[in-house]
Amino acid sequence: MRDDADISALVAKSDDPKMAEDAAVLEIVRQLDQACREAGFFYVKGHGIPESLLKQVREVTRKFFHLPHEEKLKIKLSSATGYRGYQEVGDNITKGVPDMHEAIDCYKELKPGMYGDMGKPMEGPNLWPDNPQNFKSLMEQYVDLCTELSKKIMRGIALALGGSFDALEGNIAGDPFWVMRLIGYPVVTKENGHDKQEVDIGCGAHTDYGLLTLVNQDE
């Protein structure tokens, strides 16, 4: 099984109602089907997001995490912020153990009443830092492209499941809720509140919620 998938043909044909008749698209669908069933993940090539943008996103995120602690706390996450904003190292807990990472949590911005009472805790705007100055515009551009890419990949997965290309849209995921976590893993200098080195981990084993996760992996 290949550990990568060149989805350029899928990206090019994703809005074509006859995409399921295209041989190149069907080969990508076959690869996606195999990867999802046997591994659960795959590297994506030919996705259409400029490498320069992927690099900029990593660079400005790294710059933010290198800011003084007091500066980062200006966008501190809390229930009052709709759980959006900055998490300090150890704030995130996985299976009872503090995770050794810091992060900025961003979500699709919800208008009041958009999801009824269930959505009230998540209503409100994202919190963006003033420094780096281009942080907000860069991330909003990145989110838009990732959302569009996710739609295209999900169309391939829908075909792999034997449905129509838009089977996972409409009431299922036609207006998707997205989450973006920008994560920094500092050098570990002490054990994470325990006496065993093996629990000193950046993030504990977990299962992401949602249909699809895209990872912009650092070098």
β-sheet bridge partners, residue 184 = 102
Give helix then strand counts, H and E, for the chain.
6, 7
Q: What is the reported pLDDT for 1?
A: 46
pLDDT score for 2: 55
Q: What is the dihedral of CA 66, 214, 178, 93, to 10 degrees?
A: -60
pLDDT at residue number 204: 78
In contact, 73 and 34? CB cutoff 8 Å: no
pLDDT confidence of residue 3: 64
Q: Contact, 99 vs 92, CB < 8 A? A: yes
- Name residues whose C-beta falls within 8 Å of residue 8's C-beta, 6 or more positions apart in sequence: 45, 46, 47, 48
Q: One-letter amino acid identity for 19?
A: M
**What count of Cα atoms within 13 Å lies in the side-chain half-sphere of residue 174?**
6
The H or E element that residue 38 is part of is helix 23-38
Q: Please say if the pLDDT value at position 195 is more than 60.
A: no
Please, how many CA atoms are within 13 Å of residue 179, restricted to the half-sphere of its CB? 14
Predicted local confidence at residue 111, as pLDDT:
86
Q: Which region among 2-6, 114-118, 119-123, 173-177 has the lowest average model confidence (pLDDT)?
A: 2-6
pLDDT at 180 > cutoff 80:
yes
pLDDT value at residue 172: 76
Task: For 44-97, write each residue's pLDDT tens digit.
Answer: 999 999 999 999 999 999 999 999 999 999 999 999 999 999 999 878 888 888
Identify the residue whose tokens are 């300090």: 88
Task: Quote the pLDDT of residue 90.
Answer: 79
Neighbours of 35 (CB within 10 A): 20
Domains of the chain: 1-48 (no CATH), 49-219 (2.60.120.330)
